[in-house]
A = this chain, B = another copy of it.
Protein backbone atom coordinates (compact mmCIF):
# COMPACT_ATOMS: atom_id res chain seq x y z
CA UNK A 1 0.00 0.00 0.00
CA UNK A 2 1.68 3.17 -1.29
CA UNK A 3 0.57 6.74 -0.78
CA UNK A 4 1.01 7.11 2.97
CA UNK A 5 -1.29 10.09 2.96
CA UNK A 6 -2.60 12.39 0.27
CA UNK A 7 -2.30 16.10 1.14
CA UNK A 8 -5.57 16.14 3.05
CA UNK A 9 -7.60 19.25 2.22
CA UNK A 10 -7.25 21.33 5.32
CA UNK A 11 -8.71 19.65 8.33
CA UNK A 12 -7.09 18.31 11.42
CA UNK A 13 -9.89 17.57 13.83
CA UNK A 14 -13.44 16.35 14.40
CA UNK A 15 -14.84 19.13 12.28
CA UNK A 16 -17.62 16.95 11.00
CA UNK A 17 -20.89 18.74 11.71
CA UNK A 18 -23.47 17.34 14.06
CA UNK A 19 -26.13 15.14 12.52
CA UNK A 20 -29.78 16.14 12.56
CA UNK A 21 -30.56 13.86 15.46
CA UNK A 22 -27.61 15.12 17.42
CA UNK A 23 -28.67 18.71 16.94
CA UNK A 24 -32.23 17.86 17.85
CA UNK A 25 -31.16 16.21 21.08
CA UNK A 26 -28.85 19.03 22.03
CA UNK A 27 -31.76 21.31 21.38
CA UNK A 28 -34.08 19.36 23.65
CA UNK A 29 -31.48 19.36 26.38
CA UNK A 30 -30.96 23.10 26.07
CA UNK A 31 -34.66 23.76 26.18
CA UNK A 32 -35.27 21.62 29.24
CA UNK A 33 -35.07 23.18 32.68
CA UNK A 34 -33.84 19.95 34.13
CA UNK A 35 -31.73 16.98 33.17
CA UNK A 36 -33.40 14.55 30.79
CA UNK A 37 -32.91 10.82 30.86
CA UNK A 38 -32.21 8.92 27.68
CA UNK A 39 -35.77 7.63 27.88
CA UNK A 40 -37.17 11.11 28.28
CA UNK A 41 -35.40 12.03 25.09
CA UNK A 42 -36.50 8.91 23.33
CA UNK A 43 -40.07 9.66 24.31
CA UNK A 44 -39.91 13.15 22.85
CA UNK A 45 -38.35 11.84 19.65
CA UNK A 46 -40.69 8.95 18.96
CA UNK A 47 -43.02 11.17 17.00
CA UNK A 48 -40.08 12.21 14.87
CA UNK A 49 -39.04 8.79 13.80
CA UNK A 50 -36.45 7.95 16.41
CA UNK A 51 -37.58 4.84 18.15
CA UNK A 52 -34.64 2.96 19.54
CA UNK A 53 -32.43 3.63 22.54
CA UNK A 54 -29.12 3.16 20.72
CA UNK A 55 -29.81 6.14 18.52
CA UNK A 56 -30.22 8.36 21.53
CA UNK A 57 -27.21 7.00 23.35
CA UNK A 58 -25.04 7.35 20.31
CA UNK A 59 -26.02 10.95 19.87
CA UNK A 60 -25.39 11.66 23.54
CA UNK A 61 -22.01 10.02 23.28
CA UNK A 62 -21.06 12.31 20.46
CA UNK A 63 -22.34 15.39 22.25
CA UNK A 64 -20.39 14.54 25.35
CA UNK A 65 -17.27 13.79 23.36
CA UNK A 66 -17.51 17.29 21.94
CA UNK A 67 -18.11 18.81 25.35
CA UNK A 68 -21.62 19.95 24.44
CA UNK A 69 -23.43 17.88 27.01
CA UNK A 70 -22.80 16.36 30.40
CA UNK A 71 -24.00 13.27 32.11
CA UNK A 72 -25.22 13.66 35.68
CA UNK A 73 -24.14 10.41 37.26
CA UNK A 74 -26.29 10.65 40.33
CA UNK A 75 -29.41 11.04 38.21
CA UNK A 76 -28.63 8.96 35.18
CA UNK A 77 -29.59 11.93 33.09
CA UNK A 78 -28.10 14.49 30.78
CA UNK A 79 -27.90 18.24 30.40
CA UNK A 80 -26.59 20.59 27.77
CA UNK A 81 -23.38 22.34 28.63
CA UNK A 82 -24.18 26.00 29.04
CA UNK A 83 -20.68 27.09 28.19
CA UNK A 84 -19.00 24.66 25.89
CA UNK A 85 -15.43 24.64 27.02
CA UNK A 86 -13.93 21.22 26.87
CA UNK A 87 -13.17 20.50 30.47
CA UNK A 88 -13.18 17.37 32.57
CA UNK A 89 -13.79 19.16 35.79
CA UNK A 90 -17.20 20.66 36.01
CA UNK A 91 -19.30 20.66 39.13
CA UNK A 92 -23.06 20.61 39.31
CA UNK A 93 -25.44 21.95 41.89
CA UNK A 94 -28.59 19.90 41.74
CA UNK A 95 -31.72 21.08 43.50
CA UNK A 96 -33.51 18.03 44.81
CA UNK A 97 -36.67 20.04 45.17
CA UNK A 98 -37.24 21.71 41.83
CA UNK A 99 -34.81 19.64 39.81
CA UNK A 100 -32.79 22.43 38.29
CA UNK A 101 -29.11 21.91 37.76
CA UNK A 102 -26.53 24.66 37.74
CA UNK A 103 -23.12 24.09 36.30
CA UNK A 104 -20.55 25.76 38.48
CA UNK A 105 -16.84 26.13 38.14
CA UNK A 106 -14.37 26.98 40.76
CA UNK A 107 -10.70 26.69 40.03
CA UNK A 108 -9.89 26.51 43.71
CA UNK A 109 -11.92 23.39 44.08
CA UNK A 110 -10.25 21.93 41.05
CA UNK A 111 -6.84 22.75 42.41
CA UNK A 112 -7.67 21.34 45.83
CA UNK A 113 -8.94 18.12 44.38
CA UNK A 114 -5.84 17.81 42.26
CA UNK A 115 -3.73 18.35 45.35
CA UNK A 116 -5.51 15.87 47.51
CA UNK A 117 -5.22 13.23 44.87
CA UNK A 118 -1.62 13.97 43.96
CA UNK A 119 -0.64 13.81 47.61
CA UNK A 120 -1.41 10.11 47.49
CA UNK A 121 0.09 9.55 44.06
CA UNK A 122 -3.26 9.38 42.35
CA UNK A 123 -3.53 10.78 38.84
CA UNK A 124 -6.96 12.23 38.06
CA UNK A 125 -8.29 11.96 34.53
CA UNK A 126 -11.89 12.85 35.16
CA UNK A 127 -13.83 14.12 38.15
CA UNK A 128 -17.48 13.83 38.98
CA UNK A 129 -18.64 16.52 41.37
CA UNK A 130 -22.35 16.71 42.05
CA UNK A 131 -23.80 18.72 44.87
CA UNK A 132 -27.30 17.84 45.95
CA UNK A 133 -29.40 20.18 47.99
CA UNK A 134 -31.72 23.12 47.62
CA UNK A 135 -31.31 26.01 45.29
CA UNK A 136 -31.71 29.60 46.38
CA UNK A 137 -35.29 29.75 45.17
CA UNK A 138 -36.31 26.57 46.97
CA UNK A 139 -34.33 27.20 50.13
CA UNK A 140 -36.08 28.39 53.22
CA UNK A 141 -39.42 27.53 51.74
CA UNK A 142 -40.32 24.16 50.40
CA UNK A 143 -38.73 21.67 52.67
CA UNK A 144 -41.56 19.31 52.07
CA UNK A 145 -40.25 17.24 49.20
CA UNK A 146 -41.47 16.61 45.74
CA UNK A 147 -38.47 14.51 44.85
CA UNK A 148 -37.70 16.40 41.67
CA UNK A 149 -37.68 13.38 39.43
CA UNK A 150 -41.43 13.23 39.20
CA UNK A 151 -42.13 16.93 39.25
CA UNK A 152 -43.22 18.52 36.02
CA UNK A 153 -42.42 15.49 33.97
CA UNK A 154 -44.20 13.66 31.21
CA UNK A 155 -47.81 14.92 31.53
A contacts, CB < 8 Å to B: 73-74, 91, 93, 95-96, 102, 104, 106, 108-109, 112-113, 115-117, 120-136, 139
Contact B128 A130 (CB under 8 A): yes
Residues of B within 8 A of A133 (CB): 117, 122-126
Alpha-carbon gap, A130 to B121, bound state (A): 16
Q: How many copies does the complex hold?
A: 2
Residues of B within 8 A of A125 (CB): 96, 132-134
- In the assembled complex, the CB of A107 is this many whole angstroms from the nearest CB of chain B, namely 10
Residues of B within 8 A of A123 (CB): 133-134, 139
Contact B134 A122 (CB under 8 A): yes
